[in-house]
Structure formats: C-alpha cells, structure tokens
Chain A
Amino acid sequence: MDVKVKIRRYDPDIESPVSYWEEFSLAVPETATVLDALIQIREDMDGTLSLRCSCRSAICGSCAMRVNGHAVLACQTKASESLDSEGIITVEPAGVMPVMKDLVVNFDPFWEKIRTVEPYLQPQGPEPEGEYIASNESMLHLSGVTACIMCGACVSDCTVLEVDPTFLGPAALAKAYRFTADPRDGNAEGVSQRRLEQLSMPSGMWDCTRCNECVQACPKGVAPMDRIMSLREQAMDVGLGNNNGARHAEAFTELVAHSGRLDELRLPVKTVGMFNIPALLSFVPIGLRAMTHGKLPPLMHKSVANVQNIRRLFNKVNQSR
C-alpha cells in the first residue's frame, strides 16, 4: 500500500528553529499501523526523525501523537484507515505540551499535575485492626479509571489546556477521582473531603468545559470527562457548593425542576450569587446589548403546561435516589 506521511518536524538544535511540514512517500503493508510507517521512515528514509515508542501494543502509552488532527496511540491506529482523500496521513506531536523534537513532547507539566493531586491513598482516622476492606463493586468501578496508561492523549486534545496551562486537566482529574472514589481514601465513610475541597478550587474540576475531547481521545476508555462530572457530583454531595460551578449546576436543575425549561435570565444571577454586585454589574452591558437587539430572554419566564408533572417527577426521582 502506497502512503504519504506528512509529518510536523521541529529541530531545536538548528539556528532559529521553527516547525515545518515534511512529506514522505513509502509503501507499507496493508496491516501497518501509523507507528509502523513512522518507524519505517526513521529506519529507511530519515534517521533523524524523533518519536517515542516502546511496546507497540497500546500498553506503554509512549506513542500518543496527533494523527489527522486528533490524539491517538500511533501503534493502535491503522495506516489504511488514516488516509485522507489524497492518500495522506498527517502526523503531529501531541498538543498542549511543549515540543522537544519532531514528535517528542515534554511531559514535565503532565507529571507535575499528576503529582499535584497526590496520587496515593490517604486514609484518615485510626487504622483498622486488619486490612482495609474495599467492596468488589467499588474496585470494579475503579477498574475503568485505573486503566489509564498515562499516554497524555486526553491532555493533548483538552480544549481548556489549549487556552489555560494552569488547568489541572483531564488526566490528573481522572487520577484524582481514582482516589476520591476509593472507599479506603478519606474518612471512615470513604469521603475524601480535603481532596474534593482542593479540586473545587480555580483550575480544578469546575474549569472543564465538558467538551468530550478527552473521552474521544482516550485509547483506554477511561472517559476522563465522565470522571470529572462524578467529581463534581461528589463535591456537591459533601456540601462544597460555594463556587460558581456548583451553584450553576444546582441552579440549572432547580430552575428546570420548577418550570420545565431553562430560565436563561435567572441562571447567571443564581450562578454568581444574588449579592455578588460586581459580577451582577458585569452582566449589565451584555443584557443591555441583548435587549437592544431583541435577544433578551423573556422577563417573565413561562412554565410548561401541566408543570406540576415536572415538579412531581423531580421529587419522585430524588426520593428514589
């Protein structure tokens, strides 16, 4: 199979280094992965091409990179399925992290964030006489998130990290959930209050946009964003509601439970807090602009017909939880 591989190259050791595209034409077996093609290029065509790889079996997590704009493990991605209409496979280094050379990125910020969430069990209170007991169900639940191989694909494609390097990011937050959801972590009831408090701070769980990029990118089904949503639920359940993120989720639910549909005028007010005058004032220019353009949501929000059915559903669902 003839393929063209277009690679984003970068050499820090030349004078005035800049990244550039280089295209290689080669024949690979039908069964070749993108990693096979890259190794073939390095061995037969250009020995200076730098990339990380090891197991070639989607276990070690070394070869995460962007193929056709999205983060994947190159060893898990078939070349034949990656060709565009012109027979080209476009390969770039993973996003967000600084490029060191060609397809090799610097993982230091990644590991720093993993360390920030203190990735080890921290039981509180007196030690049990025997071993710490964890139910089979809780461990089965955690098996999804412990499948993480730290490849950085989720971080590469995170839309928040793209604009804000201080965000903890999907890998570290999913790792944090691995501990907050472990019954052996935290107090005797398995509540990791201190962790959840720290994770509720700016740059933590509430800064995720829920864009699903990390869910799509993860080669191991960890679904980091779903773990972040679970962290938010845990935080709200233990009373950590004094921030815009938690207030937003709570107000949204409350407003819909009350009228069946979203009251777009009241949601932002309830999110920032009724007495947060500076934040409320910042809405004024936006509100005025919307009003002059006939886009201001109705001042008198209407409930859906037979809204008592919605309110009853809300109460019933809550009682059953």
Chain B
Amino acid sequence: MKYAFFPGCVSQGGAPELYTATKLICSKLGIEIEEISGWTCCGAGVMQEKNQLFGDTLNARTFAKAEELGLPILTICSTCQGVMGQANLRMKRDPEYLAEINSHLAEEGLEYKGTAEPKHLLWILIEDFGLDSLVPHLTRSLSGLRVAPFYGCYIVRPTEALDIEDHPERQTSLESLIETVGATLIDFEGKTRCCGFPILTINEKNSLAMVGKHTSEVKDLGADAMVTPCPLCHLNLDGYQPRAAKQLNRSISLPILHLPQLIGLAMGFSHQELGLQKHIVNTQPIQLKVGAGAS
C-alpha cells in the first residue's frame, strides 16, 4: 500500500506536529508514503479568488508529478482535499481547459493526463486500509476519552467534488474513526460548519465567534477533545481559542487534535512523539486520561 504524499503548506508551517504524526502512524501501519517532489500550494480557495487558472495549473502540476510516480495521492488537509478535488473536477469536465493548462505545463516537460484522485488520509484509512485492519494496531485504550468530530468545510462540501454520491460513508467517516479507536463519540450539530479561519484576518470578530461557538458547545457537552482532519481548522480552533474564550467571556480549554494524533494515541505513541506539547490549548488532561506519558 503506497501513496504519493501531498503534505500541504500548513503541515510545513503552523502545524508541524501534523506532519510528524502522519509519518509516524503511516509507518507503523505499513502505509508507504512518498512525498511528491516539488509539490506546490493548492491555493486553499484563496488563490482561486484572484486567479483560478493559476491555482488549477499548480494543482495539475502536482497531479502530473503523482502520475509520474504512478501512485494515488494522499492528502492530510480537508482544505487541500476539497480545493484539489474541485480543480480536478473542472479539468476533467472540460478537456479544452485541461489542454490549456497542459500547454502551460509543457515547458517543464509535464502533462496531466487526468487520472489523479486525491484522497484524504481519513478516507484512505476507511476505504483502502479498512477500519478492521486498524483495530489490531490499537494498543492503548482510549476508553472514557470523549471526542467530538470537526470535519472542515472542504471535506464535506460541495459534495460533487468529493464523490460523496459514490461514497456516502464519507459523511460519517470521522465519527466511525472516533468509535473505532475506542473513544466516546460526542456528536454535535456544528461538526460540519465553518471554523472561521478563512476570515480570520478579514473579520476577526466573526471568526472568533465561530471558534467560540463550536468549542464551547462541545465543551458543554462534556467533550475532552475535538478531532479534525483539517489543519486550518486546527490553527483557528486551537490557536485562537484563548482569544475566542475572552470574546465570549468564559473559559473553554478544549484540546483540538489532528486526526493522526488521535489515531497515534490509540496506537500507543507518546504525547511527545505526536507533538501534543506543541498545541496552544493544554493537552495534558488528555495525556493524563489515556496515560500517554511514555511510548
């Protein structure tokens, strides 16, 4: 089982622990990942506002490099997944558009043939690896750890670019995973809503209101943590949670785990190995609850 790995910019910048935790769990699960050399930013939907053709061309460049490797693409970010899926759909639907993009790529000797299917680690674990195959690797009990899901918009909408019709199980993938690793699922309505990150520097008050709303709601439902497959959601829900709590005039203190960190905890990796000490919101209560002090 081997994939062309697309780490995405945030795992190289504001959330390095996501990169480490991904490599750690994939290695132990026997999921081989080969990083796509010279991969570029997906555009995060922001670049597409200014210059969609450039954004799509960069994604086609990454897809072409994965095709050269002859491997399916593994992503670890809801936003990358959605943006790449949307770009892919535009190119596959419109051969003239793809030809135009390929004319730009030709100078570098690249051509996107239209065969890439970027796939998030969350989906790969369920659809390719199989949750049943994950179970034998779970060596630490997360019994009693109450975890709420938070998807990130781009891995749930628009459904057309995410192949949800053929894979309806993707809509409940995070809940399935939480239950498989032995944690208690804390379901809540806001799990598919927006974390507010895209407008953080545009309308901070609204962005923080979204952070405060989701994290406090989950906290009040008794959750110990929230887990997300989106590092952008993580940056906002974790990094800006103290400011959101201040805006709400209450305390929240809800740790926000990256998806591979939650799995890594159940696989017996230590707090340190998974980079939980790098979070802004204190993750010690989780360590104490599951006994993740040592590997």
Contacts and interface: CB of A to CB of B under 8 A. Distances in A.
Interface of A: 69, 159-160, 162-164, 167, 202, 206-213, 215-216, 229, 232-233, 236, 244-245, 248-250, 252-253, 256-257, 260-262, 264-265, 267-268, 271-272, 286, 289-290, 293-298, 304-306, 309-310, 312-314, 316-318, 320-321
A249 B104 contact: no
A165 B59 CA distance: 36
Contact of B157 (A216, A236, A313): A216
B202 A207 contact: yes
Nearest to B37: A305
Contacts of B194: 159-160, 209, 211, 213
B107 interface: yes
A296 B203 CA distance: 22
B24 to A, nearest CB: 16
Given A312-B107, A317-B51, A317-B53, A69 B239 contact: no
Given A159-B193, A215-B157, A262-B44, 9 more contacts: A248-B46, A249-B46, A264-B14, A293-B278, A293-B280, A294-B16, A295-B15, A297-B13, A313-B61
Contact of B202 (A216, A244, A293): A244
| SS of A interface (majority) | helix
Given A262-B13, A318-B51, A286 B239 contact: yes
A262 to B, nearest CB: 4
B135 interface: no
A245 B194 CA distance: 18
B104 A316 contact: yes
Given A209-B199, A249-B49, A294-B16, A261 B9 contact: yes
B198 A209 contact: yes
Given A260-B41, A320-B100, A321-B53, A212 B158 contact: yes
Contacts of B50: 233, 236, 249-250, 252-253
B5 interface: no
B213 A163 contact: yes
A229 B207 CA distance: 19
B89 to A, nearest CB: 13
Contact of A272 (B16, B41, B201, B205): B201
B135 to A, nearest CB: 23
B100 A69 contact: no
Give the contact-size bracket for chain B. 35 or more
Given A212-B153, A260-B41, A286 B240 contact: yes
Contacts of A289: 239, 242, 280
Interface string B1-39: 000000001101111110000000000000000000111
Contacts of A309: 38, 107-108
A163 to B, nearest CB: 4
Contact of B210 (A159, A167, A267, A314): A159
Given A163-B209, A207-B202, A252-B47, A69 B189 contact: yes
B50, B210, B278 — which one has the most chain A CB atoms within 10 A of its CB? B50
B49 A229 contact: yes
Contact of A202 (B193, B201, B203): B203
7 contacts: A209-B197, A233-B50, A244-B201, A256-B58, A264-B14, A293-B278, A309-B107
Nearest to A302: B12
B277 to A, nearest CB: 7
Contacts of A318: 51, 54
B239 A290 contact: yes
Among B45, B82, B242, which residue has the most Cβ atoms of chain A within 10 A?
B45
B196 interface: yes
A83 to B, nearest CB: 14
A317 B40 contact: no
B9 A262 contact: yes
Of listed B51, B108, B193, residue having the most chain A CB within 10 A:
B51
A297 B15 CA distance: 8
B157 A211 contact: yes
B269 interface: no
B38 A313 contact: no
Given A164-B206, A310-B58, A256 B47 contact: yes
